[in-house]
Structure 1
Amino acid sequence: MKKIYTIFALSAASIAFSQIQKVEPAFWWKGMKNPDLQILVYGKNIANNEIELSDGIQAKNIQKVENPNYVFITVNTNEINFPSFKINIKKGKKNISSYSYELKQRLPGSVDRESFTSKDVMYLIMPDRFANGNPSNDNTRDTAEKSDRKNPGGRHGGDIEGIIKNLDYLKELGVTAVWNTPLLEDNEPSFSYHGYAQSDYYKIDPRYGTNEDYKRMADELHKRNMKLIMDYVTNHWGSQSWIIKDLPAKDWIHYWKDGEKGFKRSSYRMTTQFDTNASKIDMENCMDGWFDTTMPDMNQSNPLVVNYMVQNAIWWTEFAGLDGLRVDTYSYNDKKGISEWTKRITDEYPNFNIVGEVWMHNQAQISYWQKDSKISAIENYNSYLPSVMDFTLHDAIGQVFKENSGWDSGMQRVYDNFANDFLYPDINNILVFAENHDTQRFNETYPKIEDYKLVMSLISTVRGIPQLYYGSEIGMSGDKATKGDGDIRRDFPGGWNGDTNNAFVKSGRTDSQNQYFDFTRKLLNWRKGKEVIHTGKTKNYVPQNNVFVYFRYNEKESVMVVVNNNVKEQTIDMKHFSESLNGFTKGKDIISDKEISLQNSLTIPAKTSMVIELQN
């Protein structure tokens, strides 16, 4: 009897270990352009059993991998005529475990959803530092790092509810799209607030809220005719990811034999992606190296990895109703893998916009990554990435407003940047910005509001999609150079109970904060209805005495922008601009609300900008 009992106990243990523990994606939708769905099923030694689908459904493929805890099941959703079916794990005739898989109906018009364009103004939020709308979720049982607002690099408690409660503030400001740094679970024991070391790709971090909260945020934005942009990370995952802790196969990540625990830091030399003479080792050191010790580098040359991320991005788009993606460290990915990822998503959503972070300092190198680039076409490569970030304009902005006029200094830097616009296949679809969550705060570099007005006038009227960083519109500063990232990611005043300064409302703002806010609001709300700024052509005039003049125009209207970066008042001869004035004799400066004569000469005060709507 003892021997029989032992055999029975082992059999029961084997069955218990084969239970389904995770299924990703947890559900899907009927009616996708690509009907093939690959379902990840996870459980201890689950691959050592038989896999069977209910209702006579035949899988296109059942793929087992190096790790027996995984099975990847591919089905054609067009061939399944049931709202749900069961995935059964069987040992012989015995059913060990089952999962009921639901196929939902897509919302009407999902495939044709609109996305962010040059009509929009994008507002970048670091959720942990914006507003704490639900203090009860600051600490949770299942997450390691606890809230400590006194720690610049710690969790401060900002969340989705805090964003939702302040959407009317953003609406009033003139914002039309919101980009949040990642909201998915990041369960690193420290510095988890930034969200870029994600540990669960199908779960909002509980310190921010729930998946349903995220969807509710999208719905609330849409009620206000605003858009939600998800910050997506393809290049690396977090070390605490449940998949990273139990890899399906060793080649799921880039594993370095000569590194400690497979780790080897990236060289960050992105030029090796397109240097036709680059050595193989230098290419590998950049693309296959890890971004950081807590961020294992994903291997996008593995089809299972790419497919997982494609489906995940589509799942969030369908589930939450996303209006676009911003992709972190885009140019560090495997070139072919990230190209496939991007193309498959934009094939599913033809109007969908995706902007990639290509942090380089040369327009040719940045434009290489935009869809249909003539530069990348030389080597028969297409990233299919619709939009890139104008880091060279950012670089110029960081210097120009503290420089005197020179051959290649002052406003000439800005002009020289725009002189290379011919390199971009779609110049209206690039993101323009003065700062973001990784750079020095603009108001730290230029503490005077006069300079803030100059830069805002610039990025709000040039080609492309302007992006603001939270808090700059009330004069927030921060010194990355000496105090680190935590200082450029300060808490927004008024986002926490007990804050004495509530900058979300006019009565709670200081006089200085209201000056910043009112200027920004006026400019952005004016921009909303200006097609000439969204899609018009540009005529640049070489800067003189640190004064840059350019025109945005179309068949219906024309706008003259004057940026006087000189510390002294300047007078410009209007005959010089007769080509663009084309008979216009006056205009209205939308900043000062004053009528401006465009005959003979125009005098511009020191450190002042004008945005002049031309009138006959």
Structure 2
Amino acid sequence: MKKLLYLLFFICGTAFAQIDRVEPPFWWSDMHNPELQIIFYGKDIARYTPTVSDNIIINNVVKTENPNYVFVTIDTKNIPASDFVFTFRNKNKVAFTHKYSLKQRREDSALRAGFDSSDLIYLIMPDRFANGNPDNDNVKGMEDKANRNEPFGRHGGDIQGVIDNLDYIEQLGATALWSTPLCEDNHSRGSYHGYAQTDVYKIDPRYGTNEDYVRLSQELKKRDMKLILDYVTNHWGSEHWMYKDLPSYDWVHQFPGYAQSNYRMTTQFDPNASKIDTKYCMDGWFVSEMPDLNQSNPLVLKYITQNAIWWIEYADLGGFRVDTYSYNDKVGIAKWTKAIMDEYPHFNIVGEVWMHDQAQMAYWQKDSKIAAIQSYNSYLPSVMDFTLHDAIGNVFNEDKSSWDSGMQKVYDNFTNDFLYPDINNILVFAENHDTARFNEIYKNDFNKYKMAMTLIATVRGIPQIYYGTEIGMAGDKAKGGDGDIRRDFPGGWKGDTNNAFTTSGRTNQQKEWFDFSAKLFNWRKGKEVIHMGETTHYLPQNNVYVYFRHNDNESVMVLLNNSNEVQTVSTARFAENLKKYKKGKDVLGGKAIDIANDITMQPKSVLILELQ
């Protein structure tokens, strides 16, 4: 009888056990770093001693002050894809077992290509994009219920809604999709944005399942598009299951208890900064609902590193956007980033470094000579060009150019490109889910929209657009808060009277904006000279900015007239770039333009000329 019970016990594993969670839930063989840290969580689990199958080596077992955790580190080197068994004993008697799996990796998984300057990234907030499955709008156990009348509430958009409208995104010319976080965020209010995650191994059931997320990635792959995960290394949500039962006091930053960040990211490299100011920047919480993770704790760092790699491998990802990158412990986040890039050398990670000085932003890019002065390297491949964003946010209302206004602001932004180690790996954008809406700033002025989109589509770097801008969507952040800049995409919900996802469903204005955008962005797809070419630009005159993107085989001339008057542009000034070229094909208008003579431009207009 005892033998039968033991056999049943062994077969059922955790059925009789005290294991509530195992993370990562499974792993893969043949990883670059063979060391795997597995968390076993359950009531008083630290009372037991773990062992594992004979062919697996346990490198380390860590038990913290919380008896509900055991951290077991094993060596997976030369272990093929297989299942093996952990056995937990108490006084040499088997208490329970757990089967663990190493899976087979996809072919060439380590060599996957991340997003790059050939891509156009389309940013969505899934809750506000499209509701493909109304049955998951409200889920038992999830606190925040759907209410489209509440700007700060959940509206019901989900992964199925995204999948249903991938044709639209592809037709626009986008080649990569960045969604704000989709992992579980089980807070009673404001959970739609996803940045206060409560389970980082589980897709929020109101968006769908883990399998749905994999299906989204697969559907994008069929279109030769990439999926970018919005990863949060700096904080979790206060309802995170682990925060409610911390493995150790120092798993999160405590003062003791809560203290808010001072948000002064300059303290990270300021040689004159006080220690207390630096501490409150890095260790202070972003907001009270978001406990600040302690990346200097090796167990924490290993946990979030493995979680990030798990999602890349599991969902076949093409990149990360990392939220609030420069608020992290700078040493810890560099180790996190390097570990991922060592595992996937051609992957890409763009960090949110929301600063307003190019030297300060360039500090955070991999191999920065500025950071090297302090013997620091973040290993972060890409940063976001917030100074260009700052200029775009007001420059098209400045009808006159002066020493520091009008198109001179845009010109000046690019004069500092020498500060960046990899200038083509910079994210350029007019807006995102946290900023003022472009179309609100400029009151849906189509000419100003064309100038902004032309700019981000033709300068160096990786262009990113925010959902709905391409059809004229606006929203007043100053009056309506974040909810107003995160409006529902028209046509994403059954019963919407306006469906902008389809040609026939668009208003005349939406059609005009979409058609222009699709023409511009689809043209960009095949232009290596834009993706990787050199830039030569000329000082703005009469608020007209002219620059060339060129390589050995091709040259494109871009002209932006930000003046409110007709301007005549003398081409003789551009002789070093025009060289043997006699005419230019107007990409947007289709006409041939004689560049040997002066070019006349209408007020607030653009020209993109393929030189011939």
TM > 0.5 fold call: yes
Alignment of 1:259-298 (within 5 A): 262-298=257-293
TM-score by length of 1: 0.96
> Residue 7 of structure 2 aligns with which residue?
none
> Residue 316 of structure 2 aligns with which residue?
321
> Residue 153 of structure 2 aligns with which residue?
154
Number of residues of Structure 1 aligned to a counterpart in Structure 2 = 597
Q: Percent sequence identity over matched residues?
A: 64
Counterpart selection for 2:426 from 427, 430, 451: 430
> Residue 497 of structure 2 aligns with which residue?
500
Partner SS, residue 62 of structure 1: strand
Matched, 1:543 2:540: yes
- C-alpha distance after superposition, 1:578-601 (max 9, x if no partner): 111012111111011111110121
Shift of 1:80: 3.7
Mapped to 1, the partners of 2:88 and 2:20 lie a distance apart of 12
Shift of 1:81: 5.1
> Residue 584 of structure 1 aligns with which residue?
581
The answer (yes or no) to whether the contact 1:18–1:45 under 8 Å persists in 2 is no
Shift of 1:57: 3.4
TM-score by length of 2: 0.96
> Residue 8 of structure 1 aligns with which residue?
none
The answer (yes or no) to whether the contact 1:18–1:44 under 8 Å persists in 2 is no
The answer (yes or no) to whether the contact 1:17–1:44 under 8 Å persists in 2 is no
> Residue 48 of structure 1 aligns with which residue?
47
> Residue 247 of structure 2 aligns with which residue?
248
Counterpart selection for 2:329 from 326, 334, 346: 334
Shift of 1:43: 0.5
The answer (yes or no) to whether the contact 1:254–1:296 under 8 Å persists in 2 is yes
Shift of 1:184: 0.3
The answer (yes or no) to whether the contact 1:186–1:196 under 8 Å persists in 2 is yes
> Residue 407 of structure 2 aligns with which residue?
411
Alignment of 1:191-590 (within 5 A): 191-257=190-256, 262-403=257-398, 404-446=400-442, 447-590=444-587
User: Which residue identity is paired with 1:296?
Assistant: P
Mapped to 2, the partners of 1:81 and 1:589 lie a distance apart of 57
Mapped to 2, the partners of 1:599 and 1:101 lie a distance apart of 71
The answer (yes or no) to whether the contact 1:53–1:87 under 8 Å persists in 2 is yes
User: Which residue identity is paired with 1:92?
Assistant: K
User: Which residue identity is paired with 1:524?
Assistant: F
> Residue 28 of structure 1 aligns with which residue?
27
Mapped to 2, the partners of 1:69 and 1:536 lie a distance apart of 56
- Note closer, same or farther for the CA distance 1:17–1:42 as it changes in structure 2 (3 Å cut): farther
Mapped to 1, the partners of 2:58 and 2:145 lie a distance apart of 44
> Residue 12 of structure 1 aligns with which residue?
none
- Note closer, same or farther for the CA distance 1:214–1:81 as it changes in structure 2 (3 Å cut): closer
The answer (yes or no) to whether the contact 1:331–1:358 under 8 Å persists in 2 is yes
Shift of 1:18: 6.3
User: Which residue identity is paired with 1:96?
Assistant: A
User: Which residue identity is paired with 1:449?
Assistant: F
The answer (yes or no) to whether the contact 1:372–1:384 under 8 Å persists in 2 is yes
Counterpart selection for 1:602 from 592, 595, 599: 599
Matched, 1:120 2:134: no
Partner SS, residue 242 of structure 1: coil
Mapped to 1, the partners of 2:57 and 2:362 lie a distance apart of 45
Mapped to 2, the partners of 1:319 and 1:491 lie a distance apart of 30
Mapped to 1, the partners of 2:109 and 2:421 lie a distance apart of 27
Mapped to 1, the partners of 2:570 and 2:222 lie a distance apart of 48
Gaps of 5+ in 2: 1-13
Partner SS, residue 318 of structure 1: helix
Mapped to 2, the partners of 1:274 and 1:187 lie a distance apart of 35
Gaps of 5+ in 1: 1-14
Shift of 1:23: 0.2
Report the aligned-residue RMSD: 1.2
The answer (yes or no) to whether the contact 1:501–1:509 under 8 Å persists in 2 is yes
Structure 1 stretches (4+) deviating beyond 6 angstroms?
A: 15-18
User: Which residue identity is paired with 1:598?
Assistant: I
Shift of 1:350: 0.4
- C-alpha distance after superposition, 1:213-266 (max 9, x if no partner): 000000000000000000000000110100011000000000112xxxx11110
User: Which residue identity is paired with 2:495?
Assistant: G
Shift of 1:537: 0.3
Mapped to 2, the partners of 1:77 and 1:326 lie a distance apart of 29
The answer (yes or no) to whether the contact 1:570–1:606 under 8 Å persists in 2 is yes
Shift of 1:56: 5.7
The answer (yes or no) to whether the contact 2:130–2:489 under 8 Å persists in 1 is yes
User: Which residue identity is paired with 1:538?
Assistant: T
The answer (yes or no) to whether the contact 2:30–2:80 under 8 Å persists in 1 is no
Shift of 1:407: 1.0
Matched, 1:169 2:168: yes
Shift of 1:111: 0.5
User: Which residue identity is paired with 2:458?
Assistant: T
Mapped to 1, the partners of 2:465 and 2:78 lie a distance apart of 46
The answer (yes or no) to whether the contact 1:17–1:43 under 8 Å persists in 2 is no
The answer (yes or no) to whether the contact 1:145–1:189 under 8 Å persists in 2 is yes
User: Which residue identity is paired with 2:436?
Assistant: Q
Mapped to 2, the partners of 1:401 and 1:374 lie a distance apart of 33
The answer (yes or no) to whether the contact 1:143–1:187 under 8 Å persists in 2 is yes
Matched, 1:611 2:608: yes
Mapped to 1, the partners of 2:65 and 2:79 lie a distance apart of 29
Mapped to 2, the partners of 1:58 and 1:128 lie a distance apart of 44
Moved more, 349-358 or 83-92: 83-92
